[in-house]
Amino acid sequence: MTVESRKYADLNRRLVSGWNTWNTRSVLAHVCLPEGAAFNLGLKDYASDEHLQEALIGRQGKDDEQIVPGPRACS
């Protein structure tokens, strides 16, 4: 294994670990890698009895949720 390959492997090990929003289907899911444990947050509006299970930045539909990324999110 070359020095560059070892550095790349070390970088991957560090980056793909810990808690983050690794789930590409929803920013409400937080996953711990490499274990794969996840917490899925849900939001419920008790007045209308509706609930939001998944939320994704950039959905364009009329009835889709509007997610506004914070200052630490990629734009």
State pTM to two decimals. 0.60
HEC letters along 11-54: HHHHHCCEEECCCCCCCCEEEEECCCEEEECCEEECCCCEEECC
Query: Could you identify the residue written with the tokens 């490499």?
Result: 34
pLDDT for 74? 64
What does the pLDDT look like over 20-60, one tens digit per residue? 887 888 889 999 988 889 999 999 999 999 998 988 888 88
Q: How far apart, in whole angstroms, are the C-alpha atoms of residue 66 and residue 27?
A: 12
